[in-house]
Amino acid sequence: MKTGNHPAKTNAYHHGNLRQSLVDSAVAILEHSGVPGLSLRAVAKASGVSQAAPYSHFSNKQSLLAEVARVGYVRFCERMARELDRDDNRLVGLGKGYVFFALENPALFHLMFSGELAQLVNVDEIDDAFLQGYQMLVDVIAENPLTQFGSDLPHLDTAYAWSVVHGIATLILGNQISAKRYNLNTDEELVEKMLEKYFSATEEVT
């Protein structure tokens, strides 16, 4: 039942690396059982310890979930970075990475942005992974301004671009928007078509 990574394991009683193991177990449970299956007791059992053991490493369930979200932010940035250079328009690429991550990790994405962890994880006192992702967007917008909307309030463009991709991701996950409504085969195709159409009018800048 253990997740397998106990590098500092010492004996059967003391786990050795329980904190990290709990986070890994939680991520694994979240991926194949979703949010409803993610109970503290299930996480503890998956790591081979008793129900109350997590409280030696996390003050409560929210603290564990904040760690899980942090893992999510790291993977999120990696996913966006992977897609960033595969597109002629870097903003389109960044957007694809954003939405694709959401589609590939629905439960994790929901946890990261549900706002239930907003007290612990918000933009003001956020961890580095989240800020790194936000900085990607700021940089891409800076190197390729959205002048098709005019040059007033240029700093709003980051919030706008973020809203577009976040809205697409959320609505697809909630089944309010789907590929078959637009006679497309996959949601990925829908995302590409939307981002290419609504993020691409930046040629006139040069």
* Interacting residues toward DNA by CB under 7 A: 10-16, 18, 38-42, 44, 49-53, 55-57, 59-62
Question: Does 28 interact with a copy of itself (rule: CB under 8 A)?
Answer: no
Instruction: Give the one entry of DNA, a copy of itself, none that residue 61 binds, where binding means its C-beta sits below a cut-off of 5 to 8 angstroms depending on kind.
Output: DNA
Write the burial class of residue 172 (CB in 10 Å: 0-12 exposed, 13-18 middle, 19+ buried). buried
From the list 8, 28, 52, 118, which residue makes contact with a copy of itself (rule: CB under 8 A)? 118
Tell me the one-letter amino acid at 165.
V
What is the length of the chain? 206
Q: Which residues contact 91 (CB under 8 A, 6 or more apart)?
A: 140, 141, 144, 161, 199, 202
Q: Which is nearer to DNA, 60 or 163 (CB)?
A: 60
Question: Does 102 interact with a copy of itself (rule: CB under 8 A)?
Answer: no
Residues from 122 through 151 that contact a copy of itself (CB under 8 A): 122-123, 148-150
From the list 21, 68, 165, 187, which residue makes contact with a copy of itself (rule: CB under 8 A)? 165
Q: Tell me, by CB under 8 A, how many residues bind a copy of itself.
A: 39
Long-range contacts of 159-168 (CB under 8 A, 24+ apart): 161/91, 161/95, 161/137, 161/199, 162/137, 164/95, 164/198, 164/199, 165/94, 165/95, 165/98, 165/99, 165/195, 166/98, 166/113, 168/95, 168/99, 168/194, 168/195
Q: Which residues contact 181 (CB under 8 A, 6 or more apart)?
A: none
Instruction: Give the one entry of a copy of itself, DNA, none that residue 86 binds, where binding means its C-beta sits below a cut-off of 5 to 8 angstroms depending on kind.
Output: none
Contact 15, 48 (CB under 8 A): yes
Instruction: Give the one entry of DNA, a copy of itself, none that residue 160 binds, where binding means its C-beta sits below a cut-off of 5 to 8 angstroms depending on kind.
Output: a copy of itself
Question: Does 63 interact with a copy of itself (rule: CB under 8 A)?
Answer: no
In the complex, least distance from residue 157 CB atom to a copy of itself, rounded to whole angstroms: 9
Residues from 167 through 206 that contact a copy of itself (CB under 8 A): 167-168, 170-171, 173-178, 181-182, 190, 193-194, 197-198, 201
Instruction: Give the one entry of a copy of itself, DNA, none that residue 135 binds, where binding means its C-beta sits below a cut-off of 5 to 8 angstroms depending on kind.
Output: none
